[in-house]
Amino acid sequence: MRIALIQQSNTDDIQANLDKSLAGIRRAAEQGARLVILQELHTGPYFCQTEDTGIFDLAEPIPGPTTQTLSELAAELGVVIVGSLFERRAAGLYHNTAVVLDSDGRLVGRYRKMHIPDDPGYYEKFYFTPGDLGFHPVDTSVGRLGVLVCWDQWFPEAARLMALAGAELLIYPTAIGWDPDDNAEEQARQREAWITVQRAHAVANGVPVAACNRVGFEADPSGVGAGSRFWGSSFVCGPQGEFLDQASTDEEACLLVDVDLARGEAVRRIWPFLRDRRIDAYEDLLKRYRDD
Determine the residue type at 219.
Answer: A
Catalytic positions, written as ranges = 40, 113, 150
Short-list 201, 270, 198, 209, CA closest to 244:
209
Residue 63 is given by DSSP the state S
**Identity (one letter) of the amino acid at 238?**
G
Residues 6 or more apart whose CB falls under 8 angstroms from that of 201 comprise 153, 156, 159, 170, 207, 209
Residue type, 109: G
* Cis amide linkage into residue 63, ω under 30° from 0: yes
**Do residues 141 and 154 touch, judged by C-beta distance below 8 A?**
no
Q: Any idea how long the chain is? A: 292
Sign of the four-CA dihedral 252, 254, 259, 264: positive
DSSP string of 202-260, one letter each residue: HHHHT--EEEEE-EEEE--TTSSS--EEEE---EEE-TTS-EEEE--SSS-EEEEEE--
Q: What is the C-alpha to C-alpha distance for residues 226 and 223, in angstroms, rounded to an integer?
A: 7
The whole-angstrom distance between residue 22's C-alpha and the CA centroid of its chain comes to 17
